[in-house]
Structure 1
Amino acid sequence: MTGPDASARRLFLQRTLALAGVALLPALPRIATAAANQIDVRTKGARGDGKTDDTTAIQAAIDAIAATGGTVRVPAGNYMIDAARAISLRSNIRLEMAPDAQLTALPNTLKRYHVIRVWRVDNVQIVGGRVVGERDQHRGDKGEWGYGINIQASHNVLVDGTHISDCWGDGMWIGAFGRGAKADISTDVTVQNVVCTNNRRQGLSLGPCQRVRILDSTFSDTNGTKPQSGIDLEPMGQGDVKDVLIQGCTMTGNKGAGVEIHHNVSGVVIRRCTIRDNAGYGVLAARMTDLWVDSNTITGNGLNGVKLAGVTSDVKVTDNTLSSNSAHSLRRALKSMAPGRAGGSHEAQLHIGEKTSNVTVSGNVF
């Protein structure tokens, strides 16, 4: 995008996303909390004993809530879930899990599964508890799409304080149904105080979506099948990702990048994060527009701290601390680059590809 519209868009991102990011989305979903609108899953037969398949009982509790909304409570216990069926949330539902409540996927052979499914609904909250996949007990060797929480074509969604681990694929996915102009995308999604760890493909992936904020969360130790990154914005040809704030998060110990961003993405702010000790890049941006990497600590990553690749444009890299990152696998490519495009003597920390444009670098400590 060029011209006045592009300038206006960048100004909006700078003022709204970076300086007042929490004002980016509408108010968080309000869910009815009166006693008459609350159901405990044990009243529907859930046992939480780590042996019984509690999928039907938990779904019955969700389905018993009136259409006007309410809260489904999951007390302490280990609730086994048939991820082939999944727990499917409805609009205006708050799924409130005790800190020591755990939803655990039963072992399966599936290429694709979901422990919690948030599909084509509005005004949903998932709060607390743990969601655990079955990667160590998985009975097949195909596929990479076993999700802890899968959000598609849904609006005004909050995931707060949930611990997600050991999934065959991604800890979380936020995306769409359909492709291109016909895609039914997710909008206005907040992920905060979440931990995604030891998942097999990604900690969190974003397909087509708009107005997403990821706050004060940790994405760590992703390993098993590529890309293996903490957060991956990867809509590719399916559609667009627009207006994403990643703030106050930690991405560490992932076998891929801390954060990677691909084409059809615009309007991303990565701010006040700690991105360290990932085997790949700290931040990789390839063929995307409107990126602000600001006030982060990016250190100890196996490849560049920040790599701007392809025709990436309209980027600000400001006030970051970048240290002890390595460009060992890119040395040959760096030698062939035009003078001055690799960040001077700091190319291991910041690599700026020769096809990038409108890149501003200031206030960083190397």
Structure 2
Amino acid sequence: MRVKTKALSMLMAAVISVPAIGISAPAAVNVKAAGEFKPEDFGAKVNDGKGDRQAIKDALEKASEAGGGTVVFGDGTYDIDILDFSGTGIGIYVDKPNITFRFSKGTVLNVLPTKFDEFGAIDVRASGFCLEGNGGKIVGNRNGHSRVNSDEGHGISVKDCNNITITDVNITDCWGDGIYLGSSNSDGSLPGCSNINIKNCTVSNNRRNNIAIVAASNVVIDKCTIKKANGAAPQCGILIEPNTNGGNVPKNSVCKNITIKNTTITCKKKGDKNGQFFAFNILNPYFNSNNKVVAKTVKITNCTFKGDCGNYSGKGVVLNKCKIKGTFYDHKKTKVKKSKISDHYKF
């Protein structure tokens, strides 16, 4: 998958960590419990339509100073104002390790309208991050984005870090992907991300893909409901597509050990002649001329796919106890076990 994101420099990371950007922290901070920090104690106000990004970042910084801690969100809407950094958007930038975000059932992170691109509402760049969704929501800005020819505003973006857990959250209406797993560079010079656990999430109506796996290994997607990606190509439920150079895949970008289980994916439509709107797809876009493998060891178990699917470029792909209610375009001899496929097209 094409990625335009530039690597963030150490200077940039330092700049966006400074409380002077946006809302500054009050002189006296009222922390309710050791190791737990509320955005409200740093200036956030729910439901007021004003940006709370910096207050959340300040709570994150205090949690980090405590050696890793939890940012606790209450009921209500926290508005995420996207920071302009030289034309690139910045959301809640998680650059400190071992941070947990804990939502309540009534928590909403709402991305405010913006013209900026290449951001994640939650942008994870440090290992050990955990999002405990508890039924809360991340709502993107697909209805309030002013740049038509762009598609890089994600719900959760995870890049070049390890041991990430995302559970029980509803991610919807993002300008780009609901969840993006990748790297800051497209040339394989950075490691990508690994050990990612996504469980009990609903990811729906995101504009590009619901989940994009670009540079990641040891990923588990379990008990998720993924629905109706639409708006900007390729509009897939789950897309595994590393960045390529004429079909050549950087070594670090080959995705490995991907498990998808107990998950239902519903497509906006099927039978699209341009190969879009797939429930899942493993793709090297140069498969006709230089079909290098982009993913190895992909196990898909006990899943239902309501739409078309594809394995154009994956090695060691196994479908077990699955239902595909559409056409499965199989270019890489997928091993199929105890599965029902409406139309298995091998080519």
Q: Give the TM-score band, short-chain normalised.
A: 0.7 to 0.9
Q: Does 1:42 align with 2:47?
A: no
Taking the TM superposition and a 5 Å limit, the aligned residue runs for 1:87-126 are 87-89=92-94, 90-119=96-125, 121-126=126-131
Taking the TM superposition and a 5 Å limit, the aligned residue runs for 1:64-213 are 64-65=62-63, 66=65, 68-83=67-82, 84-89=89-94, 90-119=96-125, 121-128=126-133, 129-213=136-220
Computed over aligned residues only, the root mean square deviation of the Cα atoms, in angstroms, reads: 1.6
CA contact (8 A) 1:46 1:57 kept: yes
Q: Does 1:307 align with 2:329?
A: yes
CA distance in 1, matches of 2:224, 2:92: 23
CA distance in 1, matches of 2:243, 2:62: 39
Q: Number of residue pairs matched? A: 283
- Shift of the 140–177 alpha-carbon distance from structure 1 to 2, 3 Å rule, reads closer
Residue 182 of structure 1: how far off its partner (Å): 2.3
Determine the structure 1 residue equivalent to 2:315. Answer: 289
CA distance in 2, matches of 1:265, 1:287: 7
CA distance in 1, matches of 2:303, 2:218: 19
CA contact (8 A) 1:229 1:254 kept: no
Structure 1 stretches of 4+ with a deviation exceeding 2 A read 110-113, 177-183
Code of the residue aligned with 2:73 in structure 1: it is: V
Higher Cα Rg: structure 1 or 2?
1
Residue 253 of structure 1: how far off its partner (Å): 2.8
SS of 2:40's partner is helix
Residue 297 of structure 1: how far off its partner (Å): 1.8
Q: Does 1:265 align with 2:295?
A: yes
CA distance in 2, matches of 1:63, 1:252: 39
- Shift of the 179–199 alpha-carbon distance from structure 1 to 2, 3 Å rule, reads closer
- Give per-residue Cα distances to partners, 1:116-153, cap 9 Å, x unaligned: 0001x111101112111111121221211110000000
Determine the structure 1 residue equivalent to 2:268. Answer: 254
CA distance in 2, matches of 1:236, 1:44: 39
Question: Could you list the runs of 5+ residues in structure 1 that have no partner in the other structure?
Answer: 1-33, 324-348, 354-366
CA distance in 2, matches of 1:130, 1:50: 17
Question: Could you list the runs of 5+ residues in structure 2 that have no partner in the other structure?
Answer: 1-31, 83-88, 245-249, 270-276, 285-293
**Alignment match of 2:340 (pick from 321, 324, 328):** 321
- Give per-residue Cα distances to partners, 1:231-278, cap 9 Å, x unaligned: 0001142521000000011110334000000241111011101111x3
Residue 218 of structure 1: how far off its partner (Å): 1.4
Normalising by structure 2, report the TM-score: 0.78
Code of the residue aligned with 2:58 in structure 1: it is: A
CA contact (8 A) 1:50 1:77 kept: no
Residue 197 of structure 1: how far off its partner (Å): 0.6
Code of the residue aligned with 2:340 in structure 1: it is: T
SS of 2:156's partner is strand
Deviates more, 1:93-102 or 1:41-50: 41-50
- Give per-residue Cα distances to partners, 1:299-340, cap 9 Å, x unaligned: 1x3xx1x2112xx25x311111223xxxxxxxxxxxxxxxxx
Residue 111 of structure 1: how far off its partner (Å): 3.3
Code of the residue aligned with 2:311 in structure 1: it is: A
SS of 1:91's partner is coil
Sequence identity (%): 26
CA distance in 1, matches of 2:322, 2:301: 6
Code of the residue aligned with 2:221 in structure 1: it is: I
Normalising by structure 1, report the TM-score: 0.74
Residue 183 of structure 1: how far off its partner (Å): 2.8
Residue 181 of structure 1: how far off its partner (Å): 4.8
CA distance in 2, matches of 1:319, 1:225: 34
More helix by share: 1
CA contact (8 A) 1:70 1:94 kept: yes
- Give per-residue Cα distances to partners, 1:82-140, cap 9 Å, x unaligned: 13331122211110011110111110112322210001x11110111211111112122
